[in-house]
Amino acid sequence: MPSTPPEGEPAPADGLLPASAAEDAGGRDFGVYVHVPYCRVRCGYCDFNTYTASELGGGASQAGYAAQLRRELAFGAGALRRSGVADRPASTVFFGGGTPTLLPASDLAAMLAGVREEWGIAPGAEVTTEANPDSVDADYLAALAAAGFTRVSFGMQSAVPQVLATLDRTHAPERVPLVVRWAREAGLQVSLDLIYGTPGESLGDWRRSLDAALSCEPDHLSAYALIVEPGTRLAARIRRGEVAEPDDDLHAEMYEEADAALAAAGFDWYEISNWSRSPGTRSRHNLAYWRGADWWGAGPGAHSHVGGVRWWNVKHPRAYADRIDAGLSPALARELLDAETRRVERVLLETRISEGLPAGVLAERERRAIPGLIADGLIDGRAAIPIAGREPRIVPTLRGRLLADTVVHRLLG
């Protein structure tokens, strides 16, 4: 959730959506994203909408946050019903941040209870929270499982102390196996997040982190290339020459190393930056984003999408609290996506996932790019060639994953 929101038209204070958002809503999955904008320290690379305690003013305390968030959930459920959008239980719920687990487990349980009360939670739903390894203990994880959480995603990032220090991470590497064990004992699925390409990180460092992550036997692993966002402390350090700028060629080599190590350990890639042990341990919540499903995003700066309407909340927790307390929508602005914009976004997103993009989504002139993409080794030729009884699909190869923007550019021209 980058800190700079897109432009859009003002969002209505009553939260109502146009009639088009209700069309066929009953046939679309529905998820809920809960943004918890608090961190103990701000990591130097982070551009997300997060705040430390010293950055918050009156009316934005962590202690009152769960109650404010539940009021938004109630507002949202009412706004969707008044807009004629079919009621659907949440098939996925995801708590992100920030560090959701800075709040007491009882607060996360209360917010999840709010989702259950307003929309219901579908049987077998995936319910995830992000967590830092040093923000939970065994009792905390057991309390999450008792509240209905099914999955925890730990921000491991690296197993190398100097890399963690460059990223301003506060946990020790040896903490990760402990929290994974505690999560498993609580009955939770486990995902680990890694970052590669940190200034000063060698290929050997990266291999060490991959080995350490795999030794924990997680169900799911995400590996993200470090992106230096303007305005962050890391960007300033690079500009001053204190640390080196990330190297694109090394990024590519690290990605290939991750894909090979994960495949050897029995993981399959299903999205460019995500691997799982089985289809059942994929992040269904994130897949819903890539497939263009509906979700309500609650909390400061959270983004939502329902039926081609996308909106985003005010960023600062104090402004958010003021709107919630006044009974108004916390949305700052929104955009109505026309059919062509939605189609283009589908191309952008579904060419990132292993199931691929149906070739029929492409215009005739765009399909002319397919033979060249096959010849250049960017998409899977077997998947893209029509065969009786099987729809051709655009599925990236390993090379195509590394050059994902090139694939999209050549398709859309």
Q: Would you state the structure tokens that stand for residue 126, as one six-digit string? A: 């995936």
> Looking at residue 369, what is its pLDDT?
97
Question: Can you name the residues that pair with 90 across neighbouring β-strands?
Answer: 121
Whether the Cβ atoms of residue 150 and residue 188 lie closer than 8 Å to each other: yes
Average pLDDT over every residue of 146-156: 98
Residue 40 has pLDDT above 90, yes or no: no
| Per-residue pLDDT band at 4 (split at 50, 70, 90) | low
Q: Specify the range with the lowest mean pLDDT, choosing from 3-12, 132-141, 390-399.
A: 3-12
Closest CA to 329 of 295, 289, 308, 298: 298
> Looking at residue 101, what is its pLDDT?
97
**CA–CA gap between residue 7 and residue 227 (Å, rounded):** 22
> Looking at residue 1, what is its pLDDT?
45
Biggest CA–CA distance in the chain, Å, is 64
**CA–CA gap between residue 279 and residue 231 (Å, rounded):** 38
Residue 401 has pLDDT above 80, yes or no: yes
> Looking at residue 58, what is its pLDDT?
58
Closest CA to 77 of 26, 115, 123, 31: 115
> Looking at residue 48, what is its pLDDT?
79
> Looking at residue 7, what is its pLDDT?
76
Q: How far is CA 376 from the centre of its chain?
A: 30
Q: Specify the range with the lowest mean pLDDT, choosing from 28-37, 47-56, 232-241, 287-296.
A: 47-56
> Looking at residue 152, what is its pLDDT?
98
Considering the entire predicted model, what is its pTM?
0.95
> What amino acid is encoded at 360 in this protein?
G
Residue 2 has pLDDT above 50, yes or no: no
pLDDT in tens, 266-320: 999 999 999 999 999 999 999 999 999 999 999 999 999 999 999 999 999 999 9
Residue 242 has pLDDT above 90, yes or no: no
Average pLDDT over every residue of 104-122: 98
Q: Specify the range with the lowest mean pLDDT, choosing from 340-344, 351-355, 388-392.
A: 388-392
Whether the Cβ atoms of residue 281 and residue 222 lie closer than 8 Å to each other: no
Average pLDDT over every residue of 102-111: 97
The pairing of strands 30-36 and 294-298 is parallel
- Cα angle, residue 90 at apex, residues 136 and 290 outer, rounded to 5°: 85
Whether the Cβ atoms of residue 387 and residue 394 lie closer than 8 Å to each other: no
Average pLDDT value for the chain: 94
Average pLDDT over every residue of 345-362: 97
Residue 5 has pLDDT above 70, yes or no: no
% of the chain beyond a pLDDT of 90: 85
% of the chain beyond a pLDDT of 70: 97
Q: Specify the range with the lowest mean pLDDT, choosing from 208-212, 279-283, 306-310, 387-391.
A: 387-391
